[in-house]
Copies of this chain bind each other. A is one copy, B any other.
Amino acid sequence: MKTGPTPKYRYTLRMKVRDYECDLQGIVNNANYLHYTEHTRHEFLLAERVSFAQLHEQGIDAVVARITISFKQPLHSGDEFLSCLNVEKKGVKYIFYQDIYRLPDYELCNRAEVTTVCVVNGKLSAGIDILDKIANQDEP
């Protein structure tokens, strides 16, 4: 058994499958992994004192432009897991690298690359200071 995820992550959220997230195949429905990764990004931002909801009220929307997600192992009812995240800025894009590991065996369940951009008052922005500062921090 592995002792933990090999790559280093900026942020890790421990979560647990909820039964309503499982579909008739008895495994977590794919769309819920986008929920998990979105929630992890927002919790990461909150930990950095940035609220997605407050940004929206200020006319700043972080929007997802592209997602690539590979499914390795399904999660089942009762499974706990780690939702892990790194982020970097490339041009106007904030790219989140998000991996989910099943507990307690640290099996990689899925791996996502989520490309986001900032839209300010309806227009594509080159980025906003508060997010640039977060994205440019050194990895742990």
Partner of A51, one of B25, B64, B69, B78: B78
Interface hit among A33-41, A92-100, A124-132: A33-41
Q: What is the CA–CA distance of A7 and B75 in the complex, to the nearest angstrom?
A: 36
With an 8 Å Cβ cutoff, the count of chain A residues facing the other chain is 36
Task: Please indicate the chain B residues that have their CB under 8 angstroms from the CB of A32 in the complex.
Answer: 31
B19 touches A24 (CB 8 A): yes
Residues in B neighbouring A77, C-beta threshold 8 A: 24, 51-53
New contact pairs (16) apart from A23-B23, A23-B24, CB-CB < 8 Å: A18-B35, A18-B42, A19-B38, A19-B39, A20-B29, A20-B35, A24-B26, A25-B61, A29-B38, A30-B38, A31-B34, A53-B77, A53-B78, A66-B68, A66-B71, A68-B68
